[in-house]
Amino acid sequence: MGRKFYFGLGTIFFLVLSAFILFTYLRFSNPESMVVCVKSGDTVNDVLKQLKNRGFFVGKDDTIFRYVFKIYFKYHQSGYKMGCYRIDKKGHFFGFLNKMSRGEGEYVKITIPEGFNASQVLGLLNATEALSGSIDIADIPEGSLLPGTYLFSYAVTKQEVVKQLSRQMQEYILQQWNNRDTDSVLLSDIKQLLIVASLIEKEVALSEERPLVASVIYNRLKKRMRLELCSSLIYFLNKNNPSKQSRILTYKDLHIVTPYNLYRTTGLPPEPICMPGRESIVAAMHPAKTDFLFFVVNGTGGHSFSNNFGDHLRSKSNVRQHLNALHHGS
């Protein structure tokens, strides 16, 4: 009876010791926190090969890791899920397996600000280290992406990000187009709508002014008046320079011959000038019902609107007086 007791105790001790040794052995060798990506179709060998090549098994036989991997997922019928998983410094193999079985991958947050143009979006995506692959300005048609904040799986490609944001824009713009105010919005297609929305986006920052600016654009188009909007020409001059997206136009600039110069050209510019946000798109679909033909900054963060040139000139004069007063401290 005593011999059986000690034999059983010894067996338990051996099993516990073996489990401890195995558990200790299965601790990774990575000297810092790393992200490991498991792609669709990756086999056990593919995953372990990546771990080995990146220094997770230094001084260890990956055969034991392969055996534990197969045993673990034999009893986890959900299998391992594709994604990118963060492994802490000298993390544990079981922690990695748990994350893969639950799909607890890493995500990267990407924010496309309203009013960014294609060049700026390209710069933002290229500066996001978590994204893989390459992309060119030709892959980002102007006005095609819906601004906002999005979560993507870690190491998603830049092409996939653009495709998803483009799909978001297509769905949103189509929904809004079908609900547009057909009495006020006399546009022939969705592209023209995006152009108008992009002009609104770059001309004003206040939400309540967007429908008013939309009304000015449509009122002038109906009268075949030149739109005379600075934002279109500024876009043309700076569109390939992400670090220089604003400037004061000079008298010389106004004589530049380009369809983006709305001081010389009647109608809309040929393409959108930025990625318009939801509010600007809605404003382009549902403009305010006004007879306004002009607007000018009022010096306090907003704009003054008028329906005749005389009032417009007076508004401009008031702005100059206001700015002079501020400049002289009175």
The structure tokens listed for 30 are 């990575």
Which CATH number applies to 26-102: 3.40.50.1000, 1.10.1040.50, 2.60.40.180, 3.30.1490.480? 3.30.1490.480
Whole-number mean pLDDT of the chain?
A: 84
Find how far residue 222's CA is from the centre of its chain. Answer: 35
With a pLDDT cut of 90, the percent of the chain lying above it is: 44
**Which pLDDT belongs to residue 74?**
81
Euclidean distance between CA atoms 274 and 245, whole angstroms: 11
**Domain extent listing, the chain:** 26-102, 107-169, 181-327
Does pLDDT of 11 surpass 60? no
Give the pLDDT band of residue 82 (cuts 50, 70, 90).
confident
Give the pLDDT band of residue 13 (cuts 50, 70, 90).
very low
Among residues 104, 103, 161, which one has the least CA distance to residue 130? 161
Euclidean distance between CA atoms 175 and 39, whole angstroms: 34
Q: Are 142 and 118 in contact (CB under 8 A)?
A: yes
Does pLDDT of 206 surpass 80? yes
